[in-house]
Amino acid sequence: MEFDFDVHKIFLEPITKLDCTLNPARRPLISSFEAQKQIVKVIDEIGKLSAKAQRLPVPITSASRMQSNKHHLYILKDCTPKTAGRGAVIGFLKVGYKKLFVLDHAGSHIEAEPLCILDFYIHESLQRNGFGKELFGFMLRLEQVEPPRLAIDRPSEKFLSFLRKHYNLRSTIPQVNNFVVFDGFFRDRKAPV
By CB under 6 A, name the binding residues for ligand ACO: 53-54, 117, 119-122, 127-133, 152-156, 158-159, 161-162, 165
Q: How far is the CB of 173 from ligand ACO (least distance, A)?
A: 17
Instruction: Give the residues across from 95 on adjacent strands.
Output: 72, 117
Query: 78, 123 in Cβ contact below 8 A?
Result: no
Q: How far is the CB of 71 from ligand ACO (least distance, A)?
A: 12
Q: How far is the CB of 23 from ligand ACO (least distance, A)?
A: 24
Indicate the residue among 22 and 53 with the shorter CB distance to ligand ACO.
53
Q: How far is the CB of 50 from ligand ACO (least distance, A)?
A: 6
Q: How far is the CB of 94 from ligand ACO (least distance, A)?
A: 8
Going by C-beta distance under 8 Å and a sequence separation of 6 or more, which residues neighbour residue 84? none
> Which stretch of DSSP H or E encloses residue 74?
strand 72-77
Q: Is 165 helix (H, G, I), strand (E, B) or coil?
A: helix
Quickly list H helices, the chain: 7-10, 32-53, 63-67, 131-143, 157-167
Indicate the residue among 6 and 45 with the shorter CB distance to ligand ACO.
45
Torsion of CA 109, 113, 115, 116, to 10 degrees: 50
The CA radius of gyration of the chain, in Å to the nearest whole number, is 17
Indicate the residue among 59 and 155 with the shorter CB distance to ligand ACO.
155
Indicate the residue among 30 and 53 with the shorter CB distance to ligand ACO.
53
Indicate the residue among 20 and 53 with the shorter CB distance to ligand ACO.
53
Residue 131 CA: distances (Å) to CA of 78, 107, 122, 157: 10, 36, 7, 17
Q: How far is the CB of 150 from ligand ACO (least distance, A)?
A: 10
Indicate the residue among 28 and 123 with the shorter CB distance to ligand ACO.
123
